[in-house]
């Protein structure tokens, strides 16, 4: 249960005073649903003003605050002319306040002749006069809302003005509860951090990095604490030790030797599997590093020990590819492998479910369907999740609840994650890294080309296809919606068909599973040669004969995403080329990013740069999964503070008495505030 002290923060914004239906949409667009969302909607920028008593010391062009006396209103007969109000400072210097349109009526009321007012705004010169057009603030001298020297500028959406947003923040600040301190006291003292409520007040009043750090730290701390709690809960449960006698692995006929990195990872995994403490391990390895082979060893260990294993893929296509690949590798071996996705129906599905329940199926490959309620395993000992970045912590938790014992869990990702982020996203896991590609790979050559040269590019593709090779053509992300992406892809496919005829195929995210697979299968089989796609091909799909990749409007993709896409080629012995087509008008940063892609194939380096250039949430692929790890902390703050937060969370649990001690009670509040309460829930359940 959420601690009562948080109730005011979780109240709906709609219920705040003065929030009418007109604000509903703009607030929703910004994701501001509850009072706490408004509080955490920090200013993105600041307008600074100089307070002056006399106008002749103020610089024209600067923002000022000054107290003036209203001298005269100048009305014009021309209704379209602006209203001009003359005011004077204490020394008698004149200033003209100019109001256009309907603002005149308001101004007349606010600025009665003979009254004193504090005004703020940008000082300008108009002919010989000093002028201020539409002052930002006009308030009586005794008002308690005199304009601040620094005014916050908020991220806004249509229908929400900065002033209104400022008022909302002010209203939300009215009754912020005095939350207990959850941060380790020496850390608070060392960094000179204010308490939570004070920090919240300050962050909306002035630009203070240290205060923003404190508030970001809270989020990182909650994240790290939740990770540790999940880990602790897992550790309390037991898994069946999986030893394996090598009887199956010795039968494998691999056409190559494992890389040193693969051998290391396998040894680490086998070490975990032999324990009754459930394995919770992340396997990171760049595209093509050979993660599947490592996973296979873990799967076979389970089967050798007389138990079952499952492998979860994020998409239908990938599940089928893994299934086919494993079938080939396991041919002739006494291992029964099956596939289960949303598409297996009727008696086929029944048979698979039976086989899982009675243990006759040893390895199951599939999509999310493999962990649904109806699926019961006789003895699931090892679960592998491929391409982890599509799954969040909550899905990992769901997995851990499957079955009586906990299966050993191996999570694989091809998105190299910078260290700081790995801690944030997978802090509860141990990690193995495949930092070595199998030998004999020729690195993909990357070129950048302007959209202007499309005709030339298409000629190049023609030569490539004529040589009997295949190619991918990835279409631009037009907008955030599938619909417009699709239109663009369809159009491009249409155009390419005019030139290349029926060897052009189109695959996109809106296709039904069966349809999509059929298209992919024909491409893998070489029946079609040029595959036009939206980013559905991003993850995992392996077509060795495809050695050319064209990515349109590459400047609109994230670097990590480009790297993933590029990883689709360079899988065969053939030298591969990736052409990044850039839109014609691109800025310096975009140029630099594309240049980096040309320069390096190192996924970790690209990930680091991407983290600098984009939000952390985006990089982790959370746009797809919808649970962004951080709303408050910026990438720099994550880099700088996540390690501190990890230590702090550890101290709380190991030294300070966990969640039940006094600091622990406060930490519970933080977990609920950041909705990391899954951590608390596991503790209770475990």
User: Using CB under 5 A as the criterion, which residues of the chain lie in contact with Mg ion when the complex forms?
Assistant: 540
Q: Is 365 in the site for ligand ADP (CB under 6 A)?
A: no
Handedness of CA 472, 478, 480, 482 (dihedral sign): negative
Length of the chain: 686
Q: Single out the segment in contact with ligand ADP by CB under 6 A; choices: 40-48, 254-262, 390-398, 490-498.
A: 254-262
| Contact of residue 415 among Mg ion, ligand ADP, none (CB under 5-8 Å per partner type) | none
Q: Single out the segment in contact with ligand ADP by CB under 6 A; choices: 86-94, 108-116, 211-219, 256-264.
A: 256-264
Handedness of CA 578, 584, 586, 591 (dihedral sign): positive
User: What tokens appear for 68 in the block?
Assistant: 């003036």
**Shortest-Cβ-distance residue relative to Mg ion:** 540
Contact of 173 with 49, CB cutoff 8 Å: no
Q: Is 256 in the site for ligand ADP (CB under 6 A)?
A: yes
Residue 94 neighbours by CB distance under 10 Å: 14
What's the closest the beta carbon of residue 290 comes to ligand ADP, in angstroms?
A: 3
Binding mask 197-236 for ligand ADP (x = CB under 6 A): ----------------------------------------
What's the closest the beta carbon of residue 47 comes to Mg ion, in angstroms?
A: 50
Contact of 595 with 566, CB cutoff 8 Å: no
What's the closest the beta carbon of residue 522 comes to ligand ADP, in angstroms?
A: 20
Distance CA 291, CA 434 (A): 8
| Contact of residue 296 among ligand ADP, Mg ion, none (CB under 5-8 Å per partner type) | none
Q: How many residues bind ligand ADP (CB under 6 A)?
A: 15
What's the closest the beta carbon of residue 603 comes to ligand ADP, in angstroms?
A: 11
Report the residue number, 313 or 616, with the smaller CB distance to Mg ion.
Answer: 313
What's the closest the beta carbon of residue 387 comes to Mg ion, in angstroms?
A: 7
Contact of 86 with 71, CB cutoff 8 Å: yes
Q: In this structure, what are the phi and psi dihedrals at residue 263, rounded to the nearest 5 degrees?
A: -60, -40
| C-alpha 521, offset from chain centre | 31
Report the residue number, 383 or 653, with the smaller CB distance to ligand ADP.
Answer: 383
| Contact of residue 603 among ligand ADP, Mg ion, none (CB under 5-8 Å per partner type) | none
| Contact of residue 615 among ligand ADP, Mg ion, none (CB under 5-8 Å per partner type) | none
Report the residue number, 540 or 615, with the smaller CB distance to Mg ion.
Answer: 540
Contact of 120 with 137, CB cutoff 8 Å: yes
Report the residue number, 85 or 330, with the smaller CB distance to ligand ADP.
Answer: 330
Residues 473-502 that bind ligand ADP (CB under 6 A): none
What's the closest the beta carbon of residue 292 comes to Mg ion, in angstroms?
A: 5
What's the closest the beta carbon of residue 367 comes to Mg ion, in angstroms?
A: 15
Residue 208: Cβ-neighbour burial (10 angstroms; 0-12, 13-18, 19+): middle
Distance CA 119, CA 111 (A): 10
Q: Is 509 in the site for ligand ADP (CB under 6 A)?
A: no
Q: What count of Cα atoms within 13 Å lies in the side-chain half-sphere of residue 144?
A: 1
Distance CA 446, CA 599 (A): 8
Report the residue number, 326 or 477, with the smaller CB distance to ligand ADP.
Answer: 326
**Shortest-Cβ-distance residue relative to ligand ADP:** 290
What's the closest the beta carbon of residue 326 comes to ligand ADP, in angstroms?
A: 11
| Contact of residue 63 among Mg ion, ligand ADP, none (CB under 5-8 Å per partner type) | none
What's the closest the beta carbon of residue 464 comes to ligand ADP, in angstroms?
A: 21
Torsion over CA of 552, 553, 559 and 560, rounded to 10 degrees? -50
Residue from 96, 98, 222, 259 binding ligand ADP (CB under 6 A): 259
Residue 681 neighbours by CB distance under 10 Å: 15
Q: Is 314 in the site for ligand ADP (CB under 6 A)?
A: no
Type and span of the H or E element at 299 = helix 291-304
Instruction: Provide the 8-state DSSP code for 618.
Output: H
Contact of 239 with 276, CB cutoff 8 Å: yes
Q: In this structure, what are the phi and psi dihedrals at residue 368, rounded to the nearest 5 degrees?
A: -45, -30
| Contact of residue 242 among ligand ADP, Mg ion, none (CB under 5-8 Å per partner type) | none
What's the closest the beta carbon of residue 520 comes to Mg ion, in angstroms?
A: 15
Closest CA to 269 of 285, 257, 256: 285
Q: Which residue has the tokens 């408050």?
A: 632
| Strands 83-88, 430-434: pairing kind | unpaired
Q: Is 111 in the site for ligand ADP (CB under 6 A)?
A: no
Q: In this structure, what are the phi and psi dihedrals at residue 72, rounded to the nearest 5 degrees?
A: -165, 150
Residue from 68, 234, 293, 620 binding ligand ADP (CB under 6 A): 293
Q: Which residues of the shown chain bind ligand ADP in the complex (CB under 6 A)?
A: 256, 258-259, 262, 285, 287-293, 414, 438, 542
């Amino acid at each position: 249960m959420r601690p009562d002290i948080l109730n005011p923060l979780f109240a709906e914004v709609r219920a705040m005073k003065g929030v009418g239906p007109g604000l509903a949409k703009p607030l929703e667009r910004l994701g501001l649903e509850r009072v706490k969302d408004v509080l955490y909607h920090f200013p993105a920028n600041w307008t600074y003003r100089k307070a002056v008593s006399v106008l002749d010391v103020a610089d024209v062009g600067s923002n000022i605050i000054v107290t003036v006396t209203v001298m005269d209103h100048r009305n014009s007969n021309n209704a379209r002319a602006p209203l001009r109000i003359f005011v004077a400072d204490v020394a008698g210097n004149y200033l003209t306040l100019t109001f256009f349109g309907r603002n005149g009526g308001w101004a007349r009321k606010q600025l009665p002749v003979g009254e004193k007012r504090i005004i703020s705004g940008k000082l300008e010169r108009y002919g010989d006069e000093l002028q201020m057009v539409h002052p930002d603030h006009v308030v009586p001298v005794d008002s308690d809302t005199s304009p601040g020297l620094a005014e916050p500028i908020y991220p806004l959406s249509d229908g929400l003005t900065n002033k209104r947003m400022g008022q909302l923040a002010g209203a939300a600040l009215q009754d912020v509860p005095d939350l207990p301190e959850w941060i380790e006291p020496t850390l608070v003292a060392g960094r000179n951090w204010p308490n939570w409520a004070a920090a919240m007040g300050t962050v909306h009043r002035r630009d203070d990095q240290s205060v923003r750090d404190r508030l970001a730290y809270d989020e990182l701390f909650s994240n790290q604490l939740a990770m540790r709690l999940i880990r602790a809960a897992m550790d309390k449960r037991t898994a069946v030790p999986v030893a394996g006698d090598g009887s199956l692995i010795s039968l494998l006929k691999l056409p190559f030797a494992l890389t040193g990195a693969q051998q290391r990872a396998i040894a680490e995994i086998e070490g975990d599997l032999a324990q009754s403490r459930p394995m919770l391990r992340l396997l990171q390895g760049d595209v093509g590093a050979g993660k599947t082979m490592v996973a296979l060893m873990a799967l076979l260990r389970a089967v050798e020990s007389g138990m079952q294993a499952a492998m979860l893929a994020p998409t239908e296509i990938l599940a089928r590819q893994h299934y086919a690949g494993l079938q080939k590798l396991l041919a002739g071996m006494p291992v029964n492998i099956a596939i289960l996705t949303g598409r297996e129906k009727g008696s086929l599905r029944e048979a698979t479910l039976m086989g899982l329940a009675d243990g006759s199926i040893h390895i199951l490959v599939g999509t999310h369907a493999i962990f649904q309620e109806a699926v019961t395993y006789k003895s699931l000992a090892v679960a592998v999740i491929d391409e982890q970045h599509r799954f969040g912590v909550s899905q990992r938790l769901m997995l851990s609840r499957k079955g009586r014992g906990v299966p050993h869990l191996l999570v694989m990702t091809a998105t190299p994650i910078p260290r700081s982020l790995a801690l944030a996203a997978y802090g509860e896991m141990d990690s193995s890294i495949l930092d070595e590609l199998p030998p004999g790979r020729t690195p993909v050559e990357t070129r950048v080309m302007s959209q202007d040269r499309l005709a030339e590019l298409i000629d190049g593709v023609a030569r490539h296809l004529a040589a009997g090779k295949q190619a991918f053509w990835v279409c631009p992300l037009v907008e955030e919606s599938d619909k417009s992406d699709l239109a663009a892809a369809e159009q491009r496919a249409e155009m390419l068909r005019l030139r290349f005829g029926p060897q052009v195929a189109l695959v996109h995210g809106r296709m039904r599973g069966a349809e999509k697979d059929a298209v992919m299968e024909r491409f893998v089989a070489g029946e079609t040669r040029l595959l036009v796609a939206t980013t559905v091909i991003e993850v995992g799909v392996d077509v060795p004969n495809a050695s050319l990749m064209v990515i349109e409007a590459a400047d609109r993709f994230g670097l990590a995403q480009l790297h993933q896409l590029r990883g689709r080629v360079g899988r065969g012995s053939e030298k591969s080329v990736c052409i990044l087509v850039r839109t014609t008008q691109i800025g310096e940063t975009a140029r630099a990013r594309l240049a980096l892609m040309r320069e390096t194939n190192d996924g970790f380096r690209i990930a680091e740069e991407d983290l600098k250039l984009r939000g952390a949430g985006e990089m982790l692929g959370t746009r797809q999964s919808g649970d962004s790890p951080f709303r408050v902390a910026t990438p720099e703050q994550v880099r700088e503070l996540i390690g501190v937060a990890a230590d702090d969370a550890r101290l709380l649990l190991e030294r300070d008495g966990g969640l039940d001690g006094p600091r622990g009670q406060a930490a519970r509040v933080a977990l609920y505030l950041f909705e990391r309460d899954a951590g608390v829930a596991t503790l209770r359940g475990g």
